[in-house]
Structure 1
Amino acid sequence: MDVINFYGYNFRWLNLLDLAIVIFLIIQLYRLLKGSLAFNIFLGLLCIYAAYFLVRALKMPILTNVLQNFINVGLIAIIIIFQPEIRKFLLVLGKKTPLSKDSFLTKLFLPDRFKSYKEEEHIINEIITAIGHMAASQTGALIVLATTYRVKFDTASSIPIDGNVSAKLIESIFEKNAPLHDGALIIVGNKILAAKVILPLSENPNLPTRIGMRHRSAVGITEHSDNLAICVSEERGTISYAEDGILTQDVSLEELKVKLYETLVEGL
């Protein structure tokens, strides 16, 4: 049966599928934009679209033409205004494709038994050791692990390192009187790429008001990129991490180690 009759209206299965896809996309956009400054703009655009379909159904030609022209021009404005959100949405969507790193097909053709995790385990142990020592001494730190691609940052303010990941090197960089302790440390693969990196601050109004610039930077760098940012609070010595724009606070070393394994090992 290709056609469904509902109170005198005929619907095809493809119409229902079309509606389901639109609802799914709207829900994903809502989850992506909720809590951001772009959320109110998103609601305004939904109201305009709803008004357009209403006046068209009521056969009001003047308002229909006005809203139609506004929507046509507004598509370009949407791309400009929501450029960071569109980028993040496509990034999240790409993770769920059949060929993404977490998909069944990828795991089928790249089984775990053919992988060697010795290097990743060494990096995780070095990071955990450094984080543990800095948390105990209340040494503030911000470490960014670039997972799928090289994180973009301001090279003018950063200091290139290009050194192997080691606990002693990480701790020496964030030592309170060291010249490189301000800013973030960037790790790409098995190398410390740079230190003293200035990162963008998150503008999410739902973040706790008591957090400082270090934590806001951690959230900011993960809002539009597929990275993991780890923070050590200088005031309390607590450990937090940010991923996909979400800040998880007061985690234990064991919880952080699990997250690092998920990012560096299971994410391969």
Structure 2
Amino acid sequence: MKEVINFYGVEYRWLDVLDLCIVIFLIIQLYRLLKGSLAFNIFVGLLMVYAAYFLVRYLQMPILTNILQNFINVGIIAIIIIFQPEIRKFLLVLGKKTPLSKDSFFTKLFLPDKFKSYKEEENIINEIIVAVSRMQSTYTGALIVLATTYRVKFDSASSISIDGNVSAKLLESIFEKQSPLHDGAVIIVGNKILAAKVILPVSENPNLPTRIGLRHRSAVGITEHSDNLAIIVSEERGTVSYAMDGVLTQDVSLEDLKVKLYEVLIDGYS
């Protein structure tokens, strides 16, 4: 087997091709991660700074070269600080692609979870669907967050601890319009409603529709940097939406929502 590839008179090693493929893969993942966010604009700005540095160095402009050189010297540290949430999410995305991720063929084939009974998860799904259906029919606003792989971080000082089993009646009573808990989000971890009246971070994504309200922006915000599913019932229009990976999917049917819940809680996060 030849160790080099001849392309238009230029020889490349197989490792060079592999190196290029890995770089392309990382760039694609980075673009998918940052597109539609303010971080993407910051990333473009950093690229412009680097391009300006090489230009002024080529043109032999010493003052600008020294200034930009000093900026670039601390560039890696600045990138880690500025893009800390994006780096964490990028590593999370890469982790899902590994052979040991929970939705990989290897895991499903060899780990004992493939024989697991999902009665508890199916019960949770049915209770959520019943609650969402009733709140939709009564135009009751709601925001439900399901933590899928680790406990979602939130401000416990402003929330009310619940620690109750997931049930349609409990969810409905929390979001009932006269309830003191109806503002904010409900956090579900496993088979428990962990807390209510939770204040979530609001997304700053400029590409979100301008007509959406605070519930929808909070749903996107909590899923931008964590592995969660957020379900929203609109108080104004009585529609159902969900957010995952910072992407908002609006006006879904109850059947579509049920399919998504099965994907997240049973089939594995996808």
Identify whether the pair has TM-score above 0.5, normalized to the shorter chain.
yes
The 2-side partners of 1:51 and 1:23 are apart by: 23
Structure 2 segments unaligned to the other structure (5+ residues)? none
Matched, 1:2 2:12: no
Alignment of 1:11-30 (within 5 A): 11-30=12-31
Alignment of 1:1-268 (within 5 A): 1-6=2-7, 9-50=10-51, 69-110=70-111, 114-267=115-268
**Cα pair 2:108 2:114 within 8 Å, conserved:** no
Alpha-carbon distance, 1:20 to partner: 2.0
- Name the aligned partner's letter for residue 196 of structure 2: A
Alpha-carbon distance, 1:109 to partner: 1.1
- Name the aligned partner's letter for residue 147 of structure 1: T
Change (3 A) 1:46 1:18: farther
Aligned-partner SS, 1:265:
helix
Alpha-carbon distance, 1:267 to partner: 1.6
The 2-side partners of 1:42 and 1:178 are apart by: 44
Deviations 1:185-226 (A, max 9, x none): 000000000000000000000100000000000000000000
The 2-side partners of 1:44 and 1:211 are apart by: 29
Alpha-carbon distance, 1:68 to partner: 5.4
The 2-side partners of 1:81 and 1:252 are apart by: 38
The 2-side partners of 1:148 and 1:240 are apart by: 21
Q: Aligned-residue CA RMSD in angstroms?
A: 2.2
Alpha-carbon distance, 1:5 to partner: 4.3
The 1-side partners of 2:69 and 2:101 are apart by: 37
Structure 1 segments unaligned to the other structure (5+ residues)? none
Alpha-carbon distance, 1:40 to partner: 1.6
- Name the aligned partner's letter for residue 75 of structure 1: I
Alpha-carbon distance, 1:32 to partner: 1.0
Change (3 A) 1:213 1:135: same
The 1-side partners of 2:84 and 2:224 are apart by: 12
Change (3 A) 1:4 1:61: farther
- Give the total of aligned pairs: 267
- Name the aligned partner's letter for residue 266 of structure 1: D
Alpha-carbon distance, 1:49 to partner: 4.1
Alpha-carbon distance, 1:97 to partner: 0.8
Alpha-carbon distance, 1:35 to partner: 1.1
* Stretch of structure 1 that moved more, 94-103 or 105-114: 105-114
Task: Give the TM-score taking structure 2 as reference length.
Answer: 0.91
- Name the aligned partner's letter for residue 258 of structure 1: V
Change (3 A) 1:75 1:113: closer
Change (3 A) 1:113 1:28: closer
